[in-house]
Amino acid sequence: MKAGGHVALERSLLIRGATIVTVNDEQEVIEEGELLIEKGLITSVGRACDPPVGWRATKATRIIEARGKVVLPGLVNAHNHAAMSLFRGYADDLPLMQWLHEKIWPAESKMVEEDVYWGTALSVLEMVRGGTTTFADMYLFMDQVARVVKKVGTRAVLARGVTAGGTDPKLEETRRLVETWHKGAGGRIRAAVGPHAPYTCTPEFLQQVAGLAKELGVPAHIHVAETREEVQQIKERYGATPVQYLERSGLFDAPRVTAVHCVHLTGEDVKILADRRVGVVSCPGSNLKLAAGIAPLAKMVKAAIPIGLGTDGPASAGALDMWEQMRLAANLQKALTGEADAISAAQALEMATRGGARALGLDGQIGAIIPGLSADVIIVNAERAHFYPPHDVLSSLVYAGHPADVETVIVAGQPVMEERMLLNLDEREVLARSAERARELIKRAEESRGEDQAGSEVVPPVD
Amino acid sequence: MKAGGHVALERSLLIRGATIVTVNDEQEVIEEGELLIEKGLITSVGRACDPPVGWRATKATRIIEARGKVVLPGLVNAHNHAAMSLFRGYADDLPLMQWLHEKIWPAESKMVEEDVYWGTALSVLEMVRGGTTTFADMYLFMDQVARVVKKVGTRAVLARGVTAGGTDPKLEETRRLVETWHKGAGGRIRAAVGPHAPYTCTPEFLQQVAGLAKELGVPAHIHVAETREEVQQIKERYGATPVQYLERSGLFDAPRVTAVHCVHLTGEDVKILADRRVGVVSCPGSNLKLAAGIAPLAKMVKAAIPIGLGTDGPASAGALDMWEQMRLAANLQKALTGEADAISAAQALEMATRGGARALGLDGQIGAIIPGLSADVIIVNAERAHFYPPHDVLSSLVYAGHPADVETVIVAGQPVMEERMLLNLDEREVLARSAERARELIKRAEESRGEDQAGSEVVPPVD
C-alpha cells in the first residue's frame, strides 16, 4: 500500500490501453485510448496510436496500464446527507412522518461533532469504493464533513442545512462555512447555502438566503417538491407550487440553484426551472423507498434542464450506489412514459457525471474527460461476466455496472483508491468507529425519548 | 483452488460463527449461529452455545469459520432466458417490438446449440457469483442449458419455450427434455412445460400443454400479462383477461403453474391466481427496462399468492442481479402505493428465496434454512461499508446488498463458489468463448437480414 496520496503527489500520470468514455459533447468513446494528466488536470486524451506514437508517455512520471478496463469521469453524487449513515437500517419500512418524528429527528438532536465525522467517513469510504469522486452534502456540523473530505481527497459541495424556525442557528454557520472552507482543500471543497425546503423556509428567510448566496458568490442547494404533501401544503400556505413559491421569493436569483428531488412538477414548474437555469438533482432510489414517487426526468431533459443524480442520505437510500441511480433514472422513465427509449444509457451516464457537475455549478471544472477539466476519473474492470459480451460499453456500464466494479479512483490527478485499496483512510477504523458512534447515539436518543416525551424541542430537519 | 467440488464431495459441513438468516416461518435470525449440513441436507441450525457446546462440530468433516458473515438461503432467480446473455447490450433503448423484430428474433433464428451452451454458461457464472443457487430458464436447445447446470453444480427448472404456431417443434422437445433431464444431475434439475404466453398459444394448444404437464407430473411456466398490449390483444381475441383466458383454457389444471410478470391484473385476476394456487414470478427490473410497468405485488401478497422474483433474460435485464430485484420489489411498491411499509425487507427477501421456491413448485425442498431442506446456502461478507452500521441484517441485505458481497455459494451441500473462486467453471474460457459466439452470431444474423428481408420465417418467441 502506497503511503498517503497527498504526501507523495503525482505530478503527471498516463492511463493507457483503456476504453475511454469521455462524456464529451459528442459522447465519444475511444478504444485503446490514452489519458494524460498533468498537475491535476486532463491535458490530453486520444488514441494510443496518435502520432508520434508514445509521445504522451514521455510526459508522464507514472503510467497506469489499463488494457481491458474502462476509464470514465468520476461519478457525481449530487445530493447526500452523508453522516446519516449512522441511521442506515435503523428504522426502515416506516411511513415517512413516523420515521422522521419518532426515529430520525430524536436521534439527530443528540448528534455531536464526532458522530458527524465518523458517519461521514463511513459514507465517503463507501462512495469512493463505488466510484463517486464528488458529492454534495447538506447536514450539520459541516466542519467535520469538510475535515473528512480534506483527508480522503475527494471533492465536495457542502451546505449547512438551515430553516427559518426553531432552534436553528440560521445563517451564521453558513457564513462561517464559506469563509473557512470555500475553495479549500486545494480547491476540492465548495460551500453552498442550504435552505432546507419550501415548507421549512418563509419567503423572508428565502430572500435573506438568496442575498447571502449572492454576497458570498456561492450556490443554493434546496429540497423541492419531494412529496405530494409538500405540494399541497405550499399551495394552501402560499397559493403556489413549491417551484413558483421559490421563484417568487427570489431564491432563483442566487448565482446557481440546485433543486433536489422535483418529483411533483407542473408543466409550468418545468418551464420556470428551465428559464431560470435551475439545476435539478434527482434521487430516484430514495424517492421510491420513501414512497415519494417518480420524477418526470424525460420531460426535464426535453426542457434542457441540467440534471444530476444523487443517492440522498444513506438512511433513506440504503447503499450509496450511483450505478443503481443511473439504472433507475433510465428505467423508471421507460416505465413511466411507456417508451423504452425515454432516457438512454448515454443520457443516464451523463446525468451521473457531467449533468451533476452542471446542476451543482461545477460546469467546466469536472464531469467529463476533456482537456482542461480537473482529472477526476475512475477505472472500471470490465472483464467480468455481467459486462459480457462487450457489445456496447455505455449500455454495459449503465445497465449492468456495480460499485464493486470500480478499481481505481483519481481526484484532481491524485489516486484516492488504487486496485480497491483506500489510500487515505483506515477502513477498519472507520467501520469500527462508526458502528460504535451509531450504537451510542441511538442509545442516547432512546433514553432521552423517555424523558422529553412531549417533544418539547423541535429538531431542525436537515434531511 | 480446490479441484472440482463434484469430484471430492463434501460429506458433512459445519458453517459456524455467522449470523444466520433462516427465512423460516418466524423469519428467525440467529446470531453466532451454526449450520450443520450432512449428505446435502440441512440437518441442524441453531446457536453455537447450544448444549452440549460443540456437538455439531463433532459431526462435520469440514468446518467453515464464518464470523462477521451472514448465511442465508441461496437466491432463486425464478425466471430467465440465460443464453440471451449473448444479446446483452446489443440493442438497448429500443421500443419492444422493434427490439424483438429487428434485432432479437433475427439473431435467435441463427442460434445453434453451442451458442446456447456458452451464453448459458456466461449467465450461470454471473448468477453464481451473485448468490443465485436456483434459476428457472425458458429457452431453446435446453439440453445445452442442462449440460451447463450439471457441470456447474447449480439447481435449475428448465422449460423449452413452445408456441402454437410457426416452425415451433411443439411439444416433442418438451417430452424429450423431461425424459432426459427431469430429476437429473443428482436431483438438481427439474423440467417444466413452457407455453410461451397467452398471445402465442391457442386454447387447444394450452389444453394440450396442460395435459402433458399432468401426464409427466411437471409444472407449467408461462409469461402472463406482461404488457398493456397483451391484455388488449387477448381481450379482443377471447373476450377475457390473460389470466381468465388461461384459466378457461384449462392450463391451471397443471400440477403447478408459474405465471411470470403479471404486471397488468384486475382484482378478479388476483382472485383467480390465489384460488388456483398459481405461483407468480415478478421481474421488476425487466418490467421497467422494457417499459411494461409495475406489477401489483402488495395486492398479491395480501391475497397470499406465492411470489418469486426473477431477473428475466440478460438482454432485457442488464445484470442478473437478484439483490436489485429485491430492492425493486420492495421499493417500487412503496412508490406505487404511497406506503413506505407496502413491502418490507423481510418480505422482499422471502420472495427472492422461499417465495421463488414455492412459485416454482420446489416448496419443502429449497428456499429456507430449515432442517430437512436441501443445503442451498450462500455466505455474504457483511464487513463492508455499505452494510454498516449493523442495525438490522434484513434491511442491510435487501436495501444495500450487491452480487459482489457473496463470497461462498453452496448447492445441495456442495461448494460451487468459495471465497469468490468458481470451482467448476473456467471463468476466462467462458468470457472468451461467449464473446466469440456473440460476435459470430450477430454477424450471421445481420448478414442474413439482408437476404431474407421480407421476414419469410417467423421466429418463435421464447423470451
CATH assignment at residue B404: 2.30.40.10
**Which pLDDT band holds residue A461 (cuts at 50, 70, 90)?**
low
Query: Which pLDDT does position A179 carry in this prediction?
Result: 96
What is the mean pLDDT of the segment spanning A259-286?
Answer: 98
CA distances from A78 to A74, A82, A287, A367, A397 (A): 12, 11, 15, 12, 19
**Residue A118, domain extent:** 75-359
pLDDT in tens, A159-176: 999 998 766 667 899 999
**Which pLDDT band holds residue A451 (cuts at 50, 70, 90)?**
low
Q: Which of A399, A430, A431, A442 is the mutation pick for testing B, counting most B CBs within 10 A?
A: A399
Of A92, A388, A398, the CB nearest to B399: A92
**Is the model's pLDDT at B357 over the cut of 90?**
yes
What is the mean pLDDT of the segment spanning B56-80?
Answer: 96
Minimum CA–CA partner of B295 in chain A = A335
Cβ contacts of A148 on chain B, cutoff 8 Å = none
In a domain? residue A55:
no
**Is the model's pLDDT at A8 over the cut of 70?**
no
Query: Which pLDDT does position B463 carry in this prediction?
Result: 66
**Which pLDDT band holds residue B461 (cuts at 50, 70, 90)?**
low
Q: Which of A405-414, B92-101, B138-147, B266-275 is predicted with the least confidence, judged by mean pLDDT? A: B92-101
C-alpha cell at A234: 405550499
Boundary of a domain, candidates B315, B331, B359 = B359
The more confident residue out of A5 and B46 is: B46
What is the mean pLDDT of the segment spanning B39-50?
Answer: 94
Distance (Å) from the C-alpha of residue A318 to the closest C-alpha of chain B?
A: 5
Cβ contacts of B400 on chain A, cutoff 8 Å = 88-89, 318-319
Question: Angle at CA B127, nearest 5°, toward B126 and B131?
Answer: 120
Query: Which pLDDT does position A462 carry in this prediction?
Result: 61
Boundary of a domain, candidates B359, B386, B401 = B359
Residues B259, B236 within the same domain: yes
In a domain? residue A264:
yes
Angle between helices A322-337 and A393-400 (to 10 degrees): 100
Residues B205, B90 within the same domain: yes
In a domain? residue B286:
yes
**Which pLDDT band holds residue B325 (cuts at 50, 70, 90)?**
very high
Tell me what the pLDDT averaged over chain A comes to: 93
The pairing of strands B414-418 and B421-422 is antiparallel
Residues B110, B175 within the same domain: yes
Q: Which of A99-108, A448-457, B122-131, B177-186 is predicted with the least confidence, judged by mean pLDDT? A: A448-457
The answer to whether the beta carbons of residues A385 and B122 sit under 8 Å apart is yes
pLDDT in tens, A368-425: 999 999 999 999 999 999 999 998 999 999 999 999 999 999 999 999 999 999 999 9
**Portion of chain B with pLDDT greater than 90, in percent:** 84
Number of domains in chain A: 1
Query: Which pLDDT does position B454 carry in this prediction?
Result: 46
Spatial neighbors of B91 by CB under 8 A, at least 6 apart, are: B99, B102, B103, B104, B315
Residues B79, B67 within the same domain: no
In a domain? residue B437:
no
CATH code (residue A113): 3.20.20.140
The more confident residue out of A188 and A8 is: A188
Query: Which pLDDT does position B462 carry in this prediction?
Result: 61
**Is the model's pLDDT at A332 over the cut of 90?**
yes
- Give the span between the Cα atoms of A225 and A206, in whole angstroms: 16
Boundary of a domain, candidates B332, B359, B386 = B359
Residues B290, B332 within the same domain: yes
Minimum CA–CA partner of A382 in chain B = B431
Q: What is the CA radius of gyration of chain A?
A: 21
pLDDT in tens, B46-62: 998 888 999 999 999 99
Total-model pTM: 0.95
**Which pLDDT band holds residue A90 (cuts at 50, 70, 90)?**
confident
Cβ contacts of B339 on chain A, cutoff 8 Å = 95, 291
Cβ contacts of B291 on chain A, cutoff 8 Å = 334-335, 337-340, 342
pLDDT in tens, B5-34: 444 577 899 999 999 999 999 999 999 999
In a domain? residue B178:
yes
**Is the model's pLDDT at A453 over the cut of 90?**
no
**Which pLDDT band holds residue A92 (cuts at 50, 70, 90)?**
confident
What is the mean pLDDT of the segment spanning A247-267?
Answer: 97
**Which pLDDT band holds residue B2 (cuts at 50, 70, 90)?**
very low
In a domain? residue B58:
yes
Q: Which of A92, A156, A181 is nearest to A356 (CA)?
A: A156
In a domain? residue A38:
no
In a domain? residue B449:
no
Residues B379, B354 within the same domain: no
Residues B162, B248 within the same domain: yes
Residues B293, B184 within the same domain: yes
- Give the span between the Cα atoms of B57 and B40, in whole angstroms: 16
**What does residue B175 show for φ and ψ, rounded to 5 degrees?**
-60, -45
- Give the span between the Cα atoms of A61 and A257, in whole angstroms: 40
Tell me what the pLDDT averaged over chain B comes to: 93
**Which pLDDT band holds residue B450 (cuts at 50, 70, 90)?**
low
Distance (Å) from the C-alpha of residue A271 to the closest C-alpha of chain B?
A: 25
What is the mean pLDDT of the segment spanning B178-203?
Answer: 96
**Is the model's pLDDT at A119 over the cut of 90?**
yes
What is the mean pLDDT of the segment spanning B165-191?
Answer: 89
**Is the model's pLDDT at B311 over the cut of 60?**
yes
pLDDT in tens, B221-273: 999 999 999 999 999 999 999 999 999 999 999 999 999 999 999 999 999 99
CA distances from B330 to A288, B75, B206, B343 (A): 9, 16, 33, 5
Amino acid identity of A338?
G
> What number of C-beta contacts closer than 8 Å exist between A and B?
215
Residues B342, B218 within the same domain: yes
Query: Which pLDDT does position B93 carry in this prediction?
Result: 79
